[in-house]
Amino acid sequence: MVFLNWSYLLLAGVTAAIFWIVFNIFDQLLFFSPIVIFYLPDDAVIGFILATITSVLLGMVVSMNVYVFRHSKLKIGLTSFFSGSTVSVLSSTCASCSSLGFFLVTVFGGTGVAASSFLSNYQTPLRFLSVLLLIWALYSISNKLTKSCTMNQQTLK
């Protein structure tokens, strides 16, 4: 029901494309300077697949949440909105090899080094966790949408 409207489908596609680009820039797979280049080494295939799945699921969840916000009769829980979004963004950034790692180290010192090390060591399991959380968020928001449309059998009699 959400994706039958072209505007929500477009929103999901644009959101997924933006996050796909951001994730691939953080993973140093996509470069814009001096020319646009996409390079996928053999050891980054699993991370690329998980980042692509994460960006598509994130686009779907954001689009469905916008649909729920626009139809004010339906209430959305904070858990379905923020469940996988934050974890997916944090886990999809290679903290030790991107500018995020330098930011963490300079701002937080030793704690930043520990956070950068943790994110780089457990990047793949965190991505799996973010995919699972996004699937749960997608399930919970679609469950809210379908349950709000069902009619009580007692009222029909």
- pLDDT tens-digit series, residues 11-61: 999 999 999 998 888 888 888 888 898 989 898 899 899 989 999 998 998
Note whether residue 154 is domain-resident: no
Q: For residue 157, is it within any domain?
A: no
pLDDT digits (tens, 9 = 90+) for 88-139: 554 444 444 455 555 555 666 766 667 666 766 777 888 888 888 888 888 8
For the chain, the domain total comes to 1
Q: Does residue 136 lie within any of the structural domains? A: yes
Please report whether residue 155 resides in a domain: no
Within a domain: 102: yes
Cβ-defined contacts of 144-149 (< 8 Å, 24+): 144/68, 144/74, 144/75, 144/76, 144/80, 145/1, 145/2, 145/64, 145/67, 145/68, 145/74, 148/73, 148/74, 149/1
Residue 112 CA to residue 157 CA, distance in Å, equals 63
Q: By residue range, what is the domain housing residue 72?
A: 6-149
User: Is the CB of residue 139 less than 8 Å from the CB of residue 83?
Assistant: no
